[in-house]
Structure 1
Amino acid sequence: MAAALEVKGLKKSFGDVTVLRGVDFTLAKGEGAVLLGANGCGKSTMLRCLNRLTSFESGTVRVHGTDVSTLAGAKLKIVRRELGYVFQQFNLIGNVSVFQNVLFGALGHPGGGLINSLSAFAPQAERDRAMHCLERVGLADKAPFRAHALSGGQQQRVAIARMLMQSPTIVIADEPIASLDPKAGREVLELLFRIVSEERLTVLCTLHQLDLAREFGPRIIGMKDGRVVIDAATDSIHISELEGLYRADGATSAASASRHAAE
């Protein structure tokens, strides 16, 4: 199966602090994985490197075969459209409508721009698509509401609709439920993974909840100290290996160590 996202030897430092120490993994088209690791292990930095929101010193990131490290200007913008991000913070504009927030997802479309993404000037096709995206997340009835009037779970659903409006092929969800209560968080995860499955999108989702990671992620990529130390099908990983990602001593299980040595 063709690769949607390839990361090889990715290294990144901030001054004297090395954050990424040669990260390697590949996601096939339509594949889903959960990314785990303690705070400070380099997860968020790595995610921001994928579309060059953060630069990196060495290594390669390929999106559908295109090396992003060699791109700039319009060519980089084209590749960035392929990656749709959902963040812990919803990053909505609170005092404008839900519908307008979703329309902003079309800013990067060919022929787009700020004017054509405003509800008063947006082409009918874009307006129809924005409503379709809201229907996908169950919030079509909230289209005229201001975003700040919605609950946290609803705002994250709007953020997912805005991401869908972008028409990405790869979804990067960086702790999308960290700001939500357990019930709302589960509902958002169920929605996100259902949509990416139905749309056959590739998804990489960072979580801290091991039970949810094992439930929703068919594959788990575990990072520690700037490296990938676990990369396997979820049902082949013992819970002690996942817990090891959060231990200060850096220990992982013998099973994990032997598997990576074999690979």
Structure 2
Amino acid sequence: MTFQPARDYEFILQVKDLVKTYPNGTKALKGVSFNVPKGAFLAVIGLSGSGKSTLLRCINRIHEPTSGSVIFEGRDITHIKEHQLREARTKIGMVFQHFNLVNRRNVLNNVLTGRLGQLENKFLGGIFQKWPEKWIEEAYQALRIVGIEDKALIRADGLSGGQKQRVAIARTLMQHPDLLLADEPVASLDPSTSYSVMNYLRDLNQKHNITVVCNLHFLSLVRDYSTHVIALKNGELVFEGKPTDITEKWFKDIYGADAREVEIH
């Protein structure tokens, strides 16, 4: 039996009592629960080490949750077989802080790897780069969406950080995802490039109806781009609401009494 999303669901993603304890005893997540409406742009905030990255990796099952449930499009994906999980993941895109590109390959082939999950012979496509012509056309379209179609035949190691992140977004577009997880996608970029990348993520959210869950550090970006916010502290959910709900008191509760907000321009 293949993975099939439920026909009717109120939330595209539901996280219920999620716990993640690592083998060394570290409790990265302590019973986290929240819901994500379809079409939302959810920002996840909190200090480094609060559990943000672990949360995203548990959602797409890069990390196996210790307990709790992840429900995607109305179906529990924490308790499904491996082949069903692979199918579910084709609808969940992931953008990482450090891009995860193959530097020795050109941009086009990096983007095309977003379709490996749908290729019958992954070895043929992944190693010898024999891609269906239709997919090549789609890859160029994805690069056009993020504004770097002219870089298609350049090796990935010849790009700037912002360009590499746009390639990573284009690669995710090849999956035709319903949900995009972005783990600190602008943390290693300069301020102007950060806004450029965030603009592309917002376009995917608003123009392509892709729900986004994005880990962010800067509250200025949270206020500018997100529709919903949750905050983690020491592996626990300590805030859930709208960007405008984050008062000075909430900021101090989340980041500490001595914390000062830093704007990114």
TM-score (norm 2): 0.89
- Equivalent residue for 2:199, pick from 161, 183, 190: 190
Determine whether 1:81 maps to 2:125.
no
**Contact kept in structure 2, 1:84 and 1:171, CA below 8 Å:** yes
Shift of 1:248: 7.2
Shift of 1:113: 1.7
Match in the other structure for 1:124: 133
After superposing the two structures, state which structure 1 stretch, 237-246 or 64-73, moved more.
237-246
The 1:238/1:125 distance shift into structure 2, 3 A limit, reads same
Gaps of 5+ in 1: 251-263
CA distance in 2 between counterparts of 1:192 and 1:57 reads 31
Deviations 1:98-122 (A, max 9, x none): 0010011100115362423568521
Q: Which amino acid aligns with 1:6?
A: Q
CA distance in 2 between counterparts of 1:133 and 1:240 reads 42
The 1:244/1:126 distance shift into structure 2, 3 A limit, reads same
In percent, how many aligned pairs have the same letter? Answer: 38
Determine whether 1:232 maps to 2:241.
yes
Determine whether 1:135 maps to 2:161.
no
Match in the other structure for 1:57: 66
Deviations 1:105-152 (A, max 9, x none): 100115362423568521111111111100000111110111111111
What secondary structure is seen at the aligned counterpart in 2 of 1:69? coil
Gaps of 5+ in 2: 1-8, 260-265
Q: Which amino acid aligns with 2:110?
A: N
Displacement over 4 Å in runs of 4+: 117-120
Deviations 1:213-244 (A, max 9, x none): 11111211111111111110112331431342
Match in the other structure for 1:69: 78
CA distance in 1 between counterparts of 2:110 and 2:257 reads 41
Match in the other structure for 2:11: 3
- Equivalent residue for 2:112, pick from 103, 110, 134: 103
Determine whether 1:22 maps to 2:24.
no
Deviations 1:17-65 (A, max 9, x none): 2111100011111111100010111111111111211111211001111
CA distance in 1 between counterparts of 2:192 and 2:213 reads 22
The 1:23/1:184 distance shift into structure 2, 3 A limit, reads same
After superposing the two structures, state which structure 1 stretch, 63-72 or 201-210, moved more.
63-72
Q: Which amino acid aligns with 2:239?
A: I
The 1:218/1:206 distance shift into structure 2, 3 A limit, reads same
Number of residue pairs the alignment of both structures matches:
250
Match in the other structure for 1:247: 256
Q: CA RMSD in A?
A: 1.8
**Contact kept in structure 2, 1:33 and 1:221, CA below 8 Å:** yes
Match in the other structure for 1:256: none
- Equivalent residue for 1:210, pick from 186, 206, 219: 219
TM-score (norm 1): 0.90
What secondary structure is seen at the aligned counterpart in 1 of 2:141? helix
